Amino acid sequence: MKKTTLTLFFFAFAAFAFFAVVSCEKVKDPAPAVTLGKYALTLGEGATETLTADQGVTWRSSDPNIATVDHRGVVTAVLEGVAAITATNDGGRSATCIVTVVVVPADGIGFAEPATLLSMSESPKLQVVMQPAGASPRTLTWKSSKPGVATIDPQGNVTPVAIGKTTVTVRTSNGNHEASCEVLVTEIGVPGFFSDRTWTVGDQTWSDVVIASGCNKTTYNGGTIGGTHLADCRVNTQDNYGHLFSWEAVYKYADYICPEGWHVPDFREFVALDKAMGGEGHNLQADLMLLNKYTTMWGGRFGGSVDMAGDLYNQGTHGFFWSSSRDDREFAQCLTIINTPELNPQDTSERVNGYAVRCVNDAPQNPAPENPQK
């Protein structure tokens, strides 16, 4: 009897221990299901759309050759076909969106910009606007009128070959629509202003100094070859001084060096500027108060100059600014400010020198700028 009691006690204790162990184990909660904003998507080649999930997930494409997806869920349609975009959470649960990439024929075409400037070292992609939205770039054909100046590939990438001008034409595959863009390969590349700041003096509104993407940091050649003046520019020691351009670059690219609505001033506009600030409007003036007006009211800076050898001179003491007006075959007119102080709104200098450029707004009350002849 005693043995039976001990046996029963043992089994009862074992059963209690088993249930105690089981009851102490923590049952893990299952990972929540992933919910997507969309489970099917149709995109034209080249189009993008962002998928959303209700929680943090990792995104993956079953075929990146057809559609890619980044860490934010941005899907990019690459090539006609079908791909699965899967979102997986940390618990291993996932949801899938089926992306169908289709070819959407273009029935309208245009360029984002009617003209493109570039230097020999730049190879931009021309931006086109197609109708309908999402039309496939594969339905376009490209052609350059002068491949000796610049070539164009099937994706619209321009490769410069030589200084000059060519017309790039893009056409829809059905031949019903086309658009053209002028591509100008220049020594100076794409010009722009150092900043958006402007200065208004009298009737005139002036831009900040001009800089350009094709200007070199170390070399400059604004000289002549066979009697022909050369267009060139050089990066200055500080961008806010403005890049330094030969007068030939100013003359040759007069329609581009200042953006639409602005122009390179002629010498009369420099004279008008000087008079508006209280100057005499003529040759050498020594007036510290007037010089201070040039540096504060007009934003004039002492950026110096560059010679044919590419050497920089007079940074911090002299400021030279080209006008569009030529003086004679070898000289052109400019505005000079020197911190001694000296000022001359009708100065002249050799066209081979590199000086800064400021643009003046095409205000109706301004005198029409002179169009110099070579």
- How far apart CA 320 and CA 305 sit, in angstroms, is 7
Position 213 confidence tier, pLDDT thresholds 50, 70, 90: very high
pLDDT(266) > 80? yes
Q: How many helices (H) and strands (E) does the chain have?
A: 4, 29
Q: What is the tens place of the pLDDT at every residue in 340-368?
A: 999 999 999 999 999 999 999 997 544 44
Q: Is the pLDDT of residue 209 over 50?
A: yes
Q: What is the pTM of this model?
A: 0.70
Residues near 180 by beta carbon (within 8 Å), at least 6 away in sequence: 111, 167, 168, 169, 170
pLDDT digits (tens, 9 = 90+) for 20-78: 444 445 555 677 999 999 999 999 888 899 999 999 999 999 999 999 999 999 999 99
Would the pLDDT of 228 be above 80? Answer: yes
- At 6-32, the pLDDT tens digits run 454 444 555 444 444 444 455 556 779
pLDDT over 70 (residue 128) = yes
Residues 115/214/312/299 CA torsion (nearest 10 deg): 40
pLDDT for 238: 87
Distance between CA 291 and CA 301 in Å, rounded? 11
Comparing CA positions, the residue from 137, 306, 329 lying closest to residue 218 is 306
Return the pLDDT at 364. 56
Compute the average pLDDT of residues 197-207.
Answer: 95
Residue 346 CA: distances (Å) to CA of 137, 305, 310: 53, 17, 25
